[in-house]
Amino acid sequence: MEPTKANVFIGYYKQRLRATGIKPSPRISGAKNADMQTIKVDDIYKVFSTVPDEQGGPQDVVALDGITLNFSAGEIHTLLGENGAGKSTLVHILSGLQQQTGGSVFINNQAFRFESPFDALTAGIAMVHQNPYIARNISVLENIIAGSRGPFLRKKKREREIRKIAETWNIPVNLHASAGTLTPAGRLRTALLAALFRKPAFLILDEPSAVLSREEREDFFSALREAAARGLGIILITHRIEEALRWSDRISVLRQGRLIFSSPVRNSAGEIEITEEQLADMLGLRRPAEPENPAKLSYSASSQKGTELTVSGLSAKPHGRQHLADISFTVRPGGITGIVGLPGSGIETLEDVLSGMIRAGSGKIGLRRGPGEKNSISFDAGNITPAILRGHGISIVPSDRYFRATNPGLTIFETVTVYRSGKWNFPRREDRIFVQDILNEERIPASPERPLRSLSGGQIQRLVLARELKTGPEILILSRPEWGLDIRTTELLHEKLKQAADSGVSVLLLSGEPEASDGFSLFNEVYYMREGTIL
């Protein structure tokens, strides 16, 4: 097999380090945010290496293979690519979360190497993550100003500054609310204000619209356009092709760690030069045609035996969250039941109650594994915990894939084998085979020892779902599983859920995207939520 440029580079880089002991050059400080006009990544490589495995040698995975790209102040530059294409790795290097294996980052022709997010912030680059890191036990204001420097922290002055930023950006915010009560959209706004408070020259946004309603997206992107007109450089990651075409000044496409396309969206006359179909082809995507009769796509629930889940009279009144009132629904075996609601409808509260993270005020959870009372059990919804749910064959795939489904500080091996650990928690050969089989099935080019945080959000989501399905659940509850997935991966997700339903699993999917249920192609039954009730 002919060696690729990346493989040749890896060999050279390792040989050079071994022979000379040269360490990566330190970062060069001194950039002025107001003067920052361009960021250039020049021939950037990122290689993830692992410790030797039982078969003998370490494994190298090339995440970025010689990326050269310019980002300019005053424009929205969108990165497109399927899950695992290298988008997140690239912006993690720019934001200081990861360091490149080779290549350079230039700001106004001055070389930088960021060893931490603080380094990037000092240089004028701030990032808002797909799932923002928010301290839940302090206020929104305290989250925003956390880490601010200076001998005297004048909260009132800082609060006035933040309110001015929020007004300029049209961001609704309660600065004195507890961060633990925030919805996903509220966490995004808090993280965005925290980034803007640092007055960056460049702002990186990873899938920001995923937690917003259609109306909120319109306001949000209008604010982005105005900010770009004021000179802010914006680097945007999204999977929505229509969104990219409408709002971007430039679009770049990554595939398998390589840059395959980069071009302005409009010509000098302001006409869009890139079509949705061209981008879909570049991404290797085939968007399904709209059916003439959506009802024909419906499929019937399997007649196989399984466990039926019944929720009745569920109510909850958590502080600072949308209350739930008399929620009742049934999830039948062999099918997929959907509950759909806009952000703020109570769909987030329902997830937390059903997963045992918030205590219900009233309601019953019933499980029926066959005809007759002897095959049925019922317990108070207020007493459920994650352990009780799992003990009854109920698996949860939460919307917070980073800190509830797993933790970015773990390895892939630790994430996938969390329910297989023995008394002494020693890695076993069969566990390694189990993990490697999942990685092969999901086509994720990584070793079990690789840090979870180095994967894309879509790859983590696939691992979590595969892990839960391997436990053989009777009931599977998923919340917003499509968040951050590209079209192809979303289709594969739906296919997996249908296969699980066909095998007799009762599947409940909570969705914050009303358009996800268009045509009822996925759901056997669908309920809609609004203001904490089922319509």
Distances (CA, A) of 121 to 198, 199, 203, 402: 8, 9, 10, 23
Contact 77, 249 (CB under 8 A): yes
DSSP calls for 27-85: P-----GGG--EEEEEEEEEEEE----TTSS--EEEEEEEEEEEEETTSEEEEE--TTS
Q: Strand 506-511 vs strand 336-340: parallel, antiparallel, or unpaired? A: parallel
Angle between helical axes of 429-441 and 457-470 (0-180°, round to 10)? 120
Query: If pLDDT is split at 50, 70 and 90, which confidence band does 501 have?
Result: very high
pLDDT, tens digit (0-9, with 9 covering 90-100), for 62-72: 889 999 999 99
Partner residues linked to 362 by β-bridges: 315
Mean pLDDT for all residues in the chain: 82
Enter the tokens of residue 453.
Answer: 């945080």
- In this predicted model, which residue has the larger pLDDT, 91 or 302? 91
Partner residues linked to 236 by β-bridges: 78, 205
Enter the tokens of residue 430.
Answer: 């069969």
Query: If pLDDT is split at 50, 70 and 90, which confidence band does 210 have?
Result: confident
Query: If pLDDT is split at 50, 70 and 90, which confidence band does 57 have?
Result: low
Region 397-415 average pLDDT: 86
pLDDT at residue 300 in the model: 45
From first CA to last CA, the distance across the chain in angstroms is: 60
Q: Strand 250-255 vs strand 76-80: parallel, antiparallel, or unpaired? A: parallel
Partner residues linked to 237 by β-bridges: 79, 206
HEC profile of 160-181: HHHHHHHHHHCCCCCCCCEHHH
Region 448-459 average pLDDT: 84
- Confidence check: pLDDT of 496 > 70: yes
**60-72: strand order across its sheet:** 60-72, 38-49, 102-107, 110-112
Region 433-453 average pLDDT: 88
- Confidence check: pLDDT of 290 > 60: no
Reduced to 3 states, what is the DSSP secondary structure of residue 342?
coil
Least Cα distance to 259 among 45, 113, 453 occurs for 45
What's the predicted TM-score (pTM) here?
0.69
What is the enclosing helix (H) or strand (E) of 204?
strand 202-206
- In this predicted model, which residue has the larger pLDDT, 151 or 70? 70
Region 316-339 average pLDDT: 90
